[in-house]
Each structure stands twice: as structure tokens, then as C-alpha cells.
Structure 1
Amino acid sequence: MLLPSLLRTLVPLLAGWIIVALTGLGFTLDSNSAQTAVAFAVAGAYYIVFRLLERAAEKFGGPLWLQGAVGALLGYARPPRYKPTDDVVELLRQSRS
């Protein structure tokens, strides 16, 4: 379960960086911090858009190819599934498997 979570974190960050680099959204400021902030904002928006599309496709019974394609754009075709529990130790154990 850890690999899907890592991929779903890193792929949107990479996508945000690529989008900023290719579109010139970096504003050509002299500050690397400003460009990094823009890249992270774009990556956050990227994640939110594709996660919402994925949830909508699941909830409204969208075609499986759409669910898989949207998930793949997040780095892993399926969202991680965790067993419901209130036990924090069990949640940590699940996230490491």
C-alpha cells in the first residue's frame, strides 16, 4: 500500500513542475522560491482535479477505462484502499504493507 501512496504524491508534484516548466508559469522571477511555490500550487491543483474526476467516475459508474486513465495520471491506476479502523497502530501497519 505504500507504493501507491508514494506514486500518487510524487506524480502530481512532477506533473506540476513539468506544467510550470513547459508553459512558462514560473513568471521568470529571480527567486527560485517563487517558482517552486508556483510549481507546488499547480501540482496541488493537478492532484485535486484528477482526484475529483476519479471520485466522480467511481461514484457515478463511469467507464472503467476512464477510472483507470484518471488514476494513471495520478501515478497509480487505483486509489489506495484501507480497512476502516480507529486503531492508529493498525493504520500505520496497513500503510506499510
Structure 2
Amino acid sequence: MLLPSVLRTLVPLVAGWIIVAVTGLGFSIDSDVVQTAVALGVAGAYYVVFRIVERVAERVAWPAWVQGAAGALLGWAKPPRYESTDDVAGLLRQSKS
């Protein structure tokens, strides 16, 4: 399940960069450092907004398309599911094989 995690990390970062590049957020940013910081902030907000919509849609029983659309805007329609890490010895055995 690495692909969903990677996509759900990269898609918001790219979306944040695109939003900042296209809109300029109403002002001109001359410093690359400031522009990067703003893009990361927008990317973080983008992720949080769509993740909250996804969770609320799941808990409140909104139509399935709402949760799917929020997930798709994060890069993968369903949140990744991770196995329990309580069995550390089992995880070590799997990593060595």
C-alpha cells in the first residue's frame, strides 16, 4: 500500500504549488524562500481540508461520491489502510524476506 501513501503526499504538495503559482495569492512574492513557505502552507491546508471532508463524509454517512471525490483530490480515492504494528517481531521477519 505504498502507492496510495505516496500519492496522498505528493498530490497535495503539487496542488499547493499550482494554487500559489496560478493565483499568486493576490500579491507578488519575490523571495523563493517565502514562495516555498507559502506553497507548503497552502499544500498543508489543502490536505487538511480534503481529509476533514473525507472523514466527515464517512462518519456522517454523506453520499459515497463526496468521500470518493475528496479522496481523489488527495490523489487516491480511499485512505490507505495500515496493518497493526503491535507484532514487532513479525514486522522484522517480513522486512528481512
Shift of 1:26: 7.7
For residues 69-80 of structure 1, the aligned pairs below 5 Å read 69-80=69-80
Q: Identity of aligned pairs, percent? A: 69
Is residue 2:91 matched to residue 1:90? yes
Is residue 2:49 matched to residue 1:49? yes
TM-score normalised according to structure 2 size:
0.85
Any gaps of 5 or more consecutive residues in structure 2? none
1:26, 1:39 within 8 Å by CA — same for their partners in 2?
Answer: no
Any gaps of 5 or more consecutive residues in structure 1? none
Q: Aligned AA for 1:75? A: G
Q: Which moved more, 1:45-54 or 1:22-31?
A: 22-31
Residues 53-95 of structure 1 show CA distances to partners (whole Å, capped at 9, x for unaligned) of 000001111111111111000000000011223245739x69x
Distance 1:82 1:56 in 2: 20
1:73 to 1:50, Cα distance in 2 relative to 1, 3 A: same
CA RMSD of aligned residues (A): 2.2
Distance 1:17 1:75 in 2: 15
Higher helix share: 2
TM-score normalised according to structure 1 size:
0.85
In the comparison of the two structures, how many residue pairs are matched?
93
